[in-house]
Amino acid sequence: MTDKFPKIALVGYGSMGRETERLALESGFEITDIFDIDSKIRIDKEYKFDVAIDFTSPETVIENIALYSKHGKNAVIGTTGWLNDFAKVKELIEQNSIGIVYGSNFSLGVQLFSRVVAEASRILDNIGGYDIMLHEMHHKRKKDSPSGTALSIAGIILENYKNKKEIYTESVHSQIEPGMLHVSSTRGGEIAGQHTVIIDSAADTIELTHRAKNRTGFAAGALEAAKWINGKSGLFNFNDIVNKILG
């Protein structure tokens, strides 16, 4: 990891933005700007920040990336639900030679959890009699369902367990096809995030759970990503570069 701390802009000042601010100031980062719905980044103004950390919404993230591109600023995108516009984002980045790290979850604990799930899925592929499913829970304000993290974990299972061929995210009111990996969701309360992989047979049940106690882990990962992307260009998935970020 580099010792140089880039100047940070926070884009989106909800719960994640405020937690990132708290941790950034404790860690020695300088926050030059905070942008929110009532104070948006402008095209006709110069800014001193090096990297924007964006926890906004799928509806605004593409517009934000276009603005970062025009300003020549790098960014960490913690917003999910925008990957249908991936090609457009990649084009913007290449045209303007900026750097962006994106991810469904910046928690380093989730990165460890994903590796445990991958290994468990590989083991399942060598034995019979078990089925696997995934359930996630988040607070009542979360807009997307299932979570981006749940979909990423589901993708890991499909990569490593050949009996599952497709992800199914709708409610099931009848028998499910054996090749479907069911991903279910619950929204309510103030749950920061919980993902449980359930491995079940006639004899026993194994549950692998990652439970976020708060938003600190997400903020810490986003700040590490901001340090790593500073001065670089290109589009990077946090899952793919976390080992490089951690050195």
Q: Which residues are catalytic?
A: 138, 142
Distances (CA, A) of 31 to 191, 216, 224: 28, 17, 15
Strand-pair partners of 34: 10
E-strand stretches of the chain: 8-11, 31-35, 51-54, 74-77, 99-102, 131-138, 166-168, 180-187, 194-200, 205-211, 234-237
User: Cβ distance 93 to 69 under 8 Å?
Assistant: yes
Cα–Cα distance for residue pair 171/140, rounded to 1 Å: 18
User: Cβ distance 16 to 36 under 8 Å?
Assistant: no
